[in-house]
Structure 1
Amino acid sequence: MVLLCTFSLPLLLTCLAGTFASEREQGRTSEETTPYGPSNVEISGVNTVTVEVPYSFQCSANCFPACTFTWTRGGLTTQGPELNLQLKEQVPPQVLICMAINPTTGKSVTVSKTVNVTSGPSNIKITGPDTLSSGVTSNFSCSADCSPSCSYTWTISSEAQSTSPTKYGQTISVTPDSWEIAEELICEAQDTVSLLYISTYVTPYVAHGPGSILITGASSVTVGDTYNFVCLVDCTPSCNFTWTFNGQIFNGDEIQLPIFHKGDTPMVGSKLVVTVDEYRHNEALTCEAKNVASGVTAVSTKILSVTDPLSVQPVSQDKPLAHQPFSLQCVGSQNPASILWLKNDLPVAVSTRVSLSPNNITMSFSPLLQSDGGLYQCIVSQGGAPIKGVGYQLNVNCEYAEINYIYTAIFAHHTPVFQERP
């Protein structure tokens, strides 16, 4: 330091204290190069970590020259100001230790931070009935894996409601109204410490029906042809179908459930493919729909008018007289692969007296006997299922049978004997 003095009249002495610039620069350099710290050492980061979630922690210090940092967690040691942490499983609270070291002086300061460990939420699920009934209360429960615990929030929505009410708790009760088709139940599980959350939902249908059941398809059918029939019914969530036709029971093919739109009628259906192979004047086709949830059933019956293109008819208009020629014909068959003749549901045995034409269309009796009476039918195969034609009831008439009178002298009585010519 130097002292500067100046003189002026009336001989006043003024002294100014000062320093040379070079001395100031030297002092400043001396301060900046003097090592100091570490001080104000601290760890920054979250206080709670969740399993499987990555986290980062920072260690900082007031230090010159810059400090080096060493982290210790359990038996693990890493270097650097940042520690990355991702736990793979649930463990006790973790103690993170950071040591800041001045590389020049070797002075160190150690600080620690304890972080809590949570897991989840995960594996969330809702348990409860798959279907609901209007006016009936059903309970649903939500669960999730959380450590230490989860809180639960429910949102309930349906097409019939303009707002979605919120409920709290692990279990809720739902009572649907009669006009509702389905309820959407959303459960949100939130970890009470980490505040992480997950959600899931279920959409149980409200059971309705079956109602408005209807069979669509032809009302008049022909033997030998194949027809499609569909049974439609208003049914929620769905119906199982059972068909009955011609004494047989069928399940039919399911028709995919339609997507529900607001205001749409939830119709489901079943398709049945029928080949009419036997003649009856009228045949009942029945569809029974059973609600898979409520078990309620509904039945619809469609009466089919059956026509048969095949029939057995006499070749001529003559009456079938005993001991006279007579012929029957299988009418309506076109290019048949084979024709089988039946009498009273049993195959007809051909003989020299009973013969068939080369194509089996005509059966002839030479002659006709009273024992030939019965129900005659022809079964035709034309590449598909055999078709049985309409039968013809043959009643042999003996009214004009030729009678031979043979007079036989019987010595004791002279009695005439009437004998029918064979």
Structure 2
Amino acid sequence: MAKLTIRFETRQDKMNQEGLVPISCMISVSQKRKRIATEINIPPCNWDKSNQKAIYLNKKVYSKHAGASATLFLMESDINRINSRLIKIKSQLDFIEDGFRLADKEYSIEDIYSAFKNSNTATGIKGPQKPTERIPGVAEFIDTYVERNRASRAKKSLGVYKQLKNHLEAYEAWSGRRITFDLIGLSFFEEFQSFLIEKRTTLNNITIAKQLSTLKTLLGYARKHGIEMNQSYRDFTIKRQKLEVITLSESEYKALKECDLKGVSRHIKARDIFIFLCATSMRYSDYAQFKREHIKGHTIQLTMKKGSKPWEIPLNPISMEILEKYSDLAYPLPKISNQKLSKYIKEVCEVAKINEPVEIVRFRGAEELKQVFPKHQLVSAHTGRKTFCTLSLERGASVETVMKWSGHESYASFKRYVNLSRTHSISEMERVWGKMDILKAG
């Protein structure tokens, strides 16, 4: 399929009597070109040809350029306004092209040019007012967002946007109106939240908060790319429920290591991998990409899958022992899918009698939903990372050290991984403030 290219340039041959040159937008498809007038004029010295944008020059630098008139001097706010208009033009052209691509339609330079000329005049381009039905719909824009970010975002994270699209389309069917960017604001968020609570009854408040947060992220992206919208949505506050932190206690961790698995291969491998996660703070995504070349002496050095940050994990006797156990494999550890690993770990924890009742509380609107589970049912592969952080603190490591080991950069995100036990809390109080004599009745 053809590809649209966009380039901004100044027309030196069209300088007006004031010494300003017009900025043109050159578009091309399959080596055929069209010029779009932006109706923006600028002093030649304020144009950066290589980066295709206006640049600010202070008065001293500006005055050194031949022909620079003091009356034409552009403030930094003027430059920002010009560049903002150019970004809107490019975003509108990109949006038009994405529409053809998502519909799997061939397009020519004339198709792009014609669609652009008939579009909204908000970018500063002269032309007829954009009809209401042509204002971008939020649900359809999600397809554009997913397509643009497919190469740089994890498939799982983009899946949340597809879920959001389903909820928006359901809301449109329920309300009988198409949701466009000009309709979204504080009132819409309040109504959409109520719709998710009352009509999408399988969702709890945690999932709803995630959907609303994703919508806010999408709107921020669209706004930066030149789509105008009701800004009052920023005043909507998303209420988030604090989640339970499921970790293994010291005694449960020991029981897991020592329980008899009766030679069941899948359980033995799953336990070894889980214990390795407990001893290194690795996420499943990092274990999945872990290779022998990442082992550097007494450390593991790799780039975190989440966040793409370089990460060095010191090895310890437990993690080293597990690596040595599988030294004959091509990979450092056996390979098991995330779904199966979490399933097998639940089975292993049940064998280890990790059955403490745990109450899980969720809300749907104001309705409280309570369920009690034996703890082994709540353990997953990610519990290993949380167990590492909790046990490391309980064993005496400082918060700063554990954060360095685990790769956390903010305490706000780190504390969600920690579940210090009641026993540890009591013993720490005694260590810091001294033991208390038992009060006698009477």
Query: Normalising TM by the smaller chain, what interval?
Result: under 0.3
- TM-score normalised according to structure 2 size: 0.19
More helix by share: 2
More strand by share: 1
- TM-score normalised according to structure 1 size: 0.19
Q: Which has the larger radius of gyration?
A: 1
The higher relative CO (CA closer than 8 Å, separation ≥ 6) is in 2
